[in-house]
Protein backbone atom coordinates (compact mmCIF):
# COMPACT_ATOMS: atom_id res chain seq x y z
CA UNK A 1 0.00 0.00 0.00
CA UNK A 2 2.82 2.43 0.86
CA UNK A 3 4.47 1.77 -2.51
CA UNK A 4 1.24 2.40 -4.41
CA UNK A 5 0.46 5.61 -2.54
CA UNK A 6 4.00 6.89 -2.96
CA UNK A 7 4.12 6.09 -6.67
CA UNK A 8 0.79 7.85 -7.26
CA UNK A 9 2.05 10.86 -5.30
CA UNK A 10 5.34 10.79 -7.22
CA UNK A 11 3.64 10.75 -10.62
CA UNK A 12 1.06 13.44 -9.78
CA UNK A 13 3.53 15.82 -8.14
CA UNK A 14 6.13 15.28 -10.86
CA UNK A 15 3.60 16.09 -13.59
CA UNK A 16 2.51 19.20 -11.68
CA UNK A 17 6.06 20.44 -11.25
CA UNK A 18 6.87 19.57 -14.86
CA UNK A 19 4.02 21.84 -15.95
CA UNK A 20 5.33 24.60 -13.66
CA UNK A 21 8.83 24.05 -15.04
CA UNK A 22 7.61 24.50 -18.61
CA UNK A 23 6.13 27.87 -17.65
CA UNK A 24 9.25 28.93 -15.75
CA UNK A 25 11.43 27.92 -18.70
CA UNK A 26 9.85 30.83 -20.58
CA UNK A 27 10.79 33.34 -17.86
CA UNK A 28 14.20 35.08 -18.11
CA UNK A 29 16.76 33.94 -15.56
CA UNK A 30 17.12 30.74 -13.56
CA UNK A 31 15.92 31.69 -10.07
CA UNK A 32 12.27 30.69 -10.51
CA UNK A 33 13.21 27.41 -12.14
CA UNK A 34 15.80 26.50 -9.52
CA UNK A 35 13.56 27.57 -6.64
CA UNK A 36 10.83 25.32 -8.00
CA UNK A 37 13.31 22.44 -8.29
CA UNK A 38 14.41 22.88 -4.68
CA UNK A 39 10.83 22.78 -3.46
CA UNK A 40 10.10 19.73 -5.60
CA UNK A 41 13.09 17.73 -4.33
CA UNK A 42 12.37 18.59 -0.71
CA UNK A 43 8.73 17.63 -1.14
CA UNK A 44 9.82 14.28 -2.57
CA UNK A 45 12.13 13.79 0.42
CA UNK A 46 9.11 14.33 2.65
CA UNK A 47 7.08 11.82 0.64
CA UNK A 48 9.86 9.23 0.80
CA UNK A 49 9.88 9.52 4.60
CA UNK A 50 6.18 9.90 5.38
CA UNK A 51 4.47 7.94 2.60
CA UNK A 52 7.03 5.32 1.54
CA UNK A 53 8.57 4.86 4.99
CA UNK A 54 12.11 5.49 3.68
CA UNK A 55 14.11 7.42 6.27
CA UNK A 56 17.09 8.93 4.46
CA UNK A 57 20.13 10.06 6.42
CA UNK A 58 22.45 12.44 4.56
CA UNK A 59 25.82 12.73 6.29
CA UNK A 60 29.24 14.24 5.63
CA UNK A 61 28.05 17.54 4.12
CA UNK A 62 30.84 19.29 6.04
CA UNK A 63 33.32 17.52 3.76
CA UNK A 64 32.05 19.43 0.72
CA UNK A 65 34.42 22.38 0.11
CA UNK A 66 33.16 25.87 -0.65
CA UNK A 67 33.28 27.09 -4.23
CA UNK A 68 33.35 25.01 -7.42
CA UNK A 69 33.30 21.30 -6.69
CA UNK A 70 32.24 18.12 -8.47
CA UNK A 71 29.89 15.83 -6.56
CA UNK A 72 30.24 12.28 -7.92
CA UNK A 73 27.47 10.09 -6.57
CA UNK A 74 26.55 6.43 -6.55
CA UNK A 75 23.45 5.99 -8.72
CA UNK A 76 21.10 3.16 -7.90
CA UNK A 77 17.76 4.91 -7.44
CA UNK A 78 15.59 7.65 -8.89
CA UNK A 79 15.71 9.02 -5.36
CA UNK A 80 19.46 9.78 -5.52
CA UNK A 81 18.93 13.10 -7.24
CA UNK A 82 16.26 14.17 -4.74
CA UNK A 83 18.58 13.55 -1.81
CA UNK A 84 21.62 15.34 -3.27
CA UNK A 85 19.62 18.32 -4.56
CA UNK A 86 17.87 18.72 -1.23
CA UNK A 87 21.25 19.38 0.41
CA UNK A 88 22.23 22.39 -1.73
CA UNK A 89 20.68 25.61 -2.96
CA UNK A 90 21.97 25.37 -6.52
CA UNK A 91 23.53 22.63 -8.59
CA UNK A 92 24.51 22.15 -12.18
CA UNK A 93 24.12 18.53 -13.15
CA UNK A 94 24.97 15.99 -15.82
CA UNK A 95 22.21 13.73 -17.09
CA UNK A 96 21.89 11.04 -19.73
CA UNK A 97 20.06 11.61 -23.00
CA UNK A 98 17.43 9.00 -22.11
CA UNK A 99 15.22 11.57 -20.37
CA UNK A 100 14.98 13.90 -23.37
CA UNK A 101 12.29 11.66 -24.86
CA UNK A 102 9.80 13.44 -22.61
CA UNK A 103 8.08 16.54 -24.01
CA UNK A 104 9.66 19.93 -23.15
CA UNK A 105 12.48 18.30 -21.16
CA UNK A 106 15.22 19.69 -23.42
CA UNK A 107 14.00 23.24 -22.87
CA UNK A 108 13.76 22.77 -19.10
CA UNK A 109 17.23 21.24 -18.88
CA UNK A 110 18.68 24.11 -20.89
CA UNK A 111 17.18 26.61 -18.45
CA UNK A 112 18.77 24.68 -15.58
CA UNK A 113 22.17 24.80 -17.35
CA UNK A 114 22.22 21.01 -17.27
CA UNK A 115 24.41 19.08 -19.66
CA UNK A 116 22.68 16.27 -21.54
CA UNK A 117 24.96 13.57 -22.88
CA UNK A 118 25.03 10.18 -24.51
CA UNK A 119 25.88 8.21 -21.36
CA UNK A 120 28.27 5.97 -23.26
CA UNK A 121 30.64 8.78 -24.23
CA UNK A 122 32.24 9.99 -27.43
CA UNK A 123 33.80 13.17 -28.85
CA UNK A 124 30.53 15.12 -28.73
CA UNK A 125 30.25 14.32 -25.03
CA UNK A 126 33.79 15.64 -24.50
CA UNK A 127 32.89 18.95 -26.17
CA UNK A 128 29.81 19.36 -23.96
CA UNK A 129 31.87 18.68 -20.87
CA UNK A 130 34.32 21.39 -21.93
CA UNK A 131 31.51 23.92 -22.28
CA UNK A 132 30.01 22.96 -18.92
CA UNK A 133 33.42 23.29 -17.27
CA UNK A 134 33.72 26.83 -18.60
CA UNK A 135 30.27 27.83 -17.31
CA UNK A 136 30.79 26.35 -13.86
CA UNK A 137 34.23 27.95 -13.50
CA UNK A 138 32.76 31.33 -14.38
CA UNK A 139 29.80 31.01 -12.02
CA UNK A 140 31.58 29.16 -9.20
CA UNK A 141 28.82 26.56 -8.94
CA UNK A 142 28.81 22.90 -8.00
CA UNK A 143 28.06 20.15 -10.44
CA UNK A 144 26.48 16.75 -9.78
CA UNK A 145 27.47 13.77 -11.89
CA UNK A 146 26.70 10.06 -11.68
CA UNK A 147 29.97 8.48 -12.91
CA UNK A 148 28.37 5.14 -13.77
CA UNK A 149 26.08 6.81 -16.29
CA UNK A 150 23.25 4.38 -15.55
CA UNK A 151 21.12 3.24 -12.64
CA UNK A 152 22.80 0.26 -10.99
CA UNK A 153 21.00 -2.60 -9.33
CA UNK A 154 21.62 -2.40 -5.58
CA UNK A 155 24.90 -4.08 -4.64
CA UNK A 156 26.31 -3.87 -8.18
CA UNK A 157 28.06 -1.22 -10.23
CA UNK A 158 28.49 -0.22 -13.84
CA UNK A 159 31.78 0.62 -15.49
CA UNK A 160 32.70 4.16 -14.43
CA UNK A 161 32.69 6.60 -17.35
CA UNK A 162 35.71 8.84 -17.91
CA UNK A 163 33.59 12.00 -18.27
CA UNK A 164 34.04 12.66 -14.57
CA UNK A 165 37.81 12.66 -15.11
CA UNK A 166 37.52 15.32 -17.82
CA UNK A 167 35.48 17.54 -15.49
CA UNK A 168 38.00 16.97 -12.69
CA UNK A 169 40.87 17.95 -14.99
CA UNK A 170 39.13 20.93 -16.58
CA UNK A 171 37.83 22.38 -13.33
CA UNK A 172 41.05 21.79 -11.42
CA UNK A 173 38.82 21.48 -8.35
CA UNK A 174 37.99 18.80 -5.75
CA UNK A 175 35.71 15.84 -6.44
CA UNK A 176 33.53 14.69 -3.55
CA UNK A 177 32.57 10.98 -3.85
CA UNK A 178 29.11 10.08 -2.52
CA UNK A 179 28.26 6.57 -1.29
CA UNK A 180 24.72 5.33 -0.76
CA UNK A 181 22.52 2.33 -0.01
CA UNK A 182 19.29 4.04 -1.05
CA UNK A 183 18.78 1.33 -3.66
CA UNK A 184 17.84 -1.08 -0.89
CA UNK A 185 14.72 0.97 -0.27
CA UNK A 186 14.07 2.32 -3.78
CA UNK A 187 15.92 0.23 -6.33
CA UNK A 188 16.42 1.80 -9.76
CA UNK A 189 12.93 2.72 -11.01
CA UNK A 190 11.13 -0.23 -9.40
CA UNK A 191 7.48 0.17 -8.40
CA UNK A 192 8.05 -1.66 -5.12
CA UNK A 193 9.54 0.44 -2.30
CA UNK A 194 10.94 -1.03 0.92
CA UNK A 195 10.59 0.63 4.30
CA UNK A 196 13.66 1.27 6.42
CA UNK A 197 16.62 3.57 6.81
CA UNK A 198 18.95 4.54 3.96
CA UNK A 199 22.17 6.55 4.10
CA UNK A 200 23.79 8.87 1.61
CA UNK A 201 27.28 9.84 2.73
CA UNK A 202 29.52 12.57 1.32
CA UNK A 203 33.09 11.25 1.52
CA UNK A 204 36.48 12.95 1.76
CA UNK A 205 37.20 15.01 -1.38
CA UNK A 206 39.74 13.95 -3.96
CA UNK A 207 41.97 16.96 -4.48
CA UNK A 208 43.15 18.13 -7.93
CA UNK A 209 46.31 16.88 -9.57
CA UNK A 210 45.91 13.12 -9.99
CA UNK A 211 46.37 11.40 -13.34
CA UNK A 212 43.39 9.71 -15.00
CA UNK A 213 44.03 6.08 -14.10
CA UNK A 214 44.78 6.77 -10.44
CA UNK A 215 41.86 9.16 -10.12
CA UNK A 216 39.33 6.79 -11.69
CA UNK A 217 40.53 3.86 -9.58
CA UNK A 218 40.41 5.90 -6.36
CA UNK A 219 36.98 7.36 -7.11
CA UNK A 220 35.44 3.98 -7.84
CA UNK A 221 37.11 2.35 -4.86
CA UNK A 222 35.86 5.00 -2.42
CA UNK A 223 32.30 5.01 -3.71
CA UNK A 224 31.88 1.26 -4.13
CA UNK A 225 33.70 0.25 -0.94
CA UNK A 226 31.73 2.62 1.26
CA UNK A 227 28.43 1.86 -0.51
CA UNK A 228 28.91 -1.84 0.26
CA UNK A 229 29.80 -1.01 3.86
CA UNK A 230 26.53 0.93 4.17
CA UNK A 231 24.40 -2.05 3.09
CA UNK A 232 21.86 -3.06 5.73
CA UNK A 233 22.18 -6.84 5.98
CA UNK A 234 19.45 -7.08 8.62
CA UNK A 235 16.81 -5.40 6.45
CA UNK A 236 17.74 -6.41 2.90
CA UNK A 237 14.89 -4.67 1.08
CA UNK A 238 15.65 -4.93 -2.66
CA UNK A 239 19.16 -6.30 -2.10
CA UNK A 240 20.13 -9.73 -3.40
CA UNK A 241 23.27 -10.56 -1.36
CA UNK A 242 24.61 -12.63 -4.26
CA UNK A 243 24.95 -9.45 -6.34
CA UNK A 244 27.22 -7.60 -3.93
CA UNK A 245 30.32 -6.30 -5.71
CA UNK A 246 29.36 -7.45 -9.21
CA UNK A 247 29.89 -5.25 -12.26
CA UNK A 248 26.96 -5.22 -14.64
CA UNK A 249 26.10 -3.58 -17.95
CA UNK A 250 22.54 -3.11 -19.18
CA UNK A 251 21.65 -3.91 -22.77
CA UNK A 252 21.39 -0.26 -23.86
CA UNK A 253 24.88 0.55 -22.58
CA UNK A 254 26.24 -2.64 -24.11
CA UNK A 255 24.79 -1.89 -27.54
CA UNK A 256 26.09 1.69 -27.53
CA UNK A 257 29.53 0.59 -26.36
CA UNK A 258 29.79 -2.08 -29.07
CA UNK A 259 28.61 0.38 -31.74
CA UNK A 260 31.21 2.93 -30.61
CA UNK A 261 33.97 0.30 -30.54
CA UNK A 262 33.01 -0.79 -34.07
CA UNK A 263 33.10 2.82 -35.26
CA UNK A 264 36.48 3.43 -33.60
CA UNK A 265 37.88 0.26 -35.16
CA UNK A 266 36.64 1.30 -38.61
CA UNK A 267 38.26 4.74 -38.24
CA UNK A 268 41.54 3.10 -37.17
CA UNK A 269 41.52 0.80 -40.18
CA UNK A 270 40.82 3.72 -42.52
CA UNK A 271 43.67 5.68 -40.96
CA UNK A 272 46.09 2.78 -41.33
CA UNK A 273 45.17 2.23 -44.98
CA UNK A 274 45.46 5.93 -45.88
Which residues are within 8 A (CB) of 254 and not within 5 positions of it... i.e. 6 or more apart? none
Residue 29 in domain: no
Looking at the structure of the chain, the number of domains it has is: 1
Residue 158 inside a domain? The answer is yes
35 assigned to some structural domain: no
Q: Which domain holds residue 191?
A: 55-265
Give the pLDDT of the chain (274 residues) as one tens digit per residue.
899 999 999 999 999 998 888 888 888 887 888 888 889 999 999 999 999 999 999 999 999 998 889 999 999 999 999 999 889 877 887 776 666 566 667 777 777 777 766 655 556 666 666 666 676 667 777 889 999 988 899 999 999 988 889 888 888 889 999 999 999 999 998 999 999 999 999 999 999 999 999 999 999 999 999 999 999 999 999 999 999 999 887 666 666 666 666 766 766 666 666 5
CATH of the domain at 155: 3.40.1130.10
pLDDT at 154: 95
Look at residue 1 and tell me if it is in a domain. no
Model pTM? 0.83
Q: Provide the CA 214 distance to its chain's centre, in angstroms.
A: 22
Q: What is the 3-state secondary structure (H, E, C) of the chain?
A: CHHHHHHHHHHHHHHHHHHHHHHHCCCCCCHHHHHHHHHHHHHHHHHHHHCCCEEEEEECHHHCCCCCCEEEECCCECHHHHHHHCCCCCEEEEEEHHHHHCCCHHHHHHHCCCEEECCCCCHHHHHHHHHHHHHHHHHCCEEEECCCCCCCCCCCECCCCCHHHHHHHHHCCCEEEEEECHHHCCCECCCCCCCEEEEEEECCCECCCCCHHHHHHHHHHHHHHHHHHHCCCCCCCCCCHHHCCCECCCHHHHHHHHHHHHHHHHHHHHHHHC
Residue 154 in any domain: the answer is: yes
Instruction: Establish if 83 belongs to a structural domain.
Output: yes
| 36 within domain boundaries | no
Amino acid sequence: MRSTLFNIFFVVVTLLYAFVAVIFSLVPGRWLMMGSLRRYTRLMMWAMRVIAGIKVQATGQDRVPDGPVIIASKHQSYGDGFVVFSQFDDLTFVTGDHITKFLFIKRILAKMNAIVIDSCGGEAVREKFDETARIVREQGRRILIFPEGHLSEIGTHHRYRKGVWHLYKDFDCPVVPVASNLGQRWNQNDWQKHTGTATMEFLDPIMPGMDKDKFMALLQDRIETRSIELLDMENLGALNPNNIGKQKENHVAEEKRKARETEDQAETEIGESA
